[in-house]
Structure 1
């Protein structure tokens, strides 16, 4: 449900960049008090993230370098929604591409925004259980270099404390699993 309290009415939009993953624009808006302001916005097609849990009740994480932060990070599997693709299909595809697993139980949990102050990206969060290894998994992105590891909830909490898990979607995923007392 959209709440429009303090709505900022768009007066004009200037597109300043269109890339493979995002586009950027500057909107001129009228504020609730009638004043005019500019808003720099990042537009994103949306993404999925998957809390994948093994039969041993471990979380499946991927390790990869993130250029924006200039560091290697541990994250739950995730990926961008392709044009016309339903989020659940993206989640199934990304789980296999990034981890080599398929899930016999896939459940939608929540959708949330990542940085609403300047970006419209939303993430659809799923939980995947009853995993099975795929003999020949679908190929991932050719510019993606990933290691897969499995950790307990306690190990994941320690990785958060040590800032090896540093991104919001993964922290949310770990806290969700902890709330279910899967350990």
Structure 2
């Protein structure tokens, strides 16, 4: 299998490669290679949820979403979840429960998003967003978050997936 890197940005690359399909046909396929990410549903002691209002330059608008971030080289998903929670919300979690994973863009990207629910939160002094992140911390009830999904205020797929998985698994 031959491949060519068309573009590289940080740990994400656009790769063109020859792929043999299950029907034995060989095609040229372009894939975004991604190291994976963690998505975290932080639940406070009183049952409220921490979200981010984050400016997304690719959409040129603000999105209300859960904290999340790309895994660093050699980092496992749980480590990433702990790190990103602190960096983006200023809170650390004593308990980080894995909810499994989702494949958000399987048609053109190999990213796997690892879903977590974070509990027993405490303020951390390690709060530091990345240079390309503009974030406002938002606290809201589960009911308000669900209503925002219903009315279309929240459209972020990873947020909807993580909340759904936490709900289906009985954590919220």
TM-score (norm 2): 0.90
2:99 and 2:165 in contact (8 A); partners too: no
**Mapped partners of 2:158, 2:120: distance in 1:** 21
Q: Could you say which residue in structure 2 is the equivalent of 1:146?
A: 135
Q: What root-mean-square deviation, in Å, do the aligned CA atoms of Structure 1 and Structure 2 show? A: 1.7
Q: Which runs of 5+ in 1 are unaligned?
A: 1-9
- Of 15, 35, 43, which aligns to 1:45? 35
Q: In the comparison of the two structures, how many residue pairs are matched? A: 171
TM-score (norm 1): 0.85
Q: How does 1:97-108 map onto structure 2 within 5 Å?
A: 97-108=87-98
User: Secondary structure at 2:93's aligned position in 1?
Assistant: strand
Q: How does 1:106-121 map onto structure 2 within 5 Å?
A: 106-121=96-111
- Of 87, 95, 102, which aligns to 2:85? 95
Q: Which runs of 5+ in 2 are unaligned?
A: none
Greater CA radius of gyration, 1 or 2?
A: 1
Q: Could you say which residue in structure 1 is the equivalent of 2:144?
A: 155
The Cα shift of 1:181 comes to 6.9
User: Secondary structure at 2:17's aligned position in 1?
Assistant: strand
Deviation larger for 120-129 or 171-180: 171-180
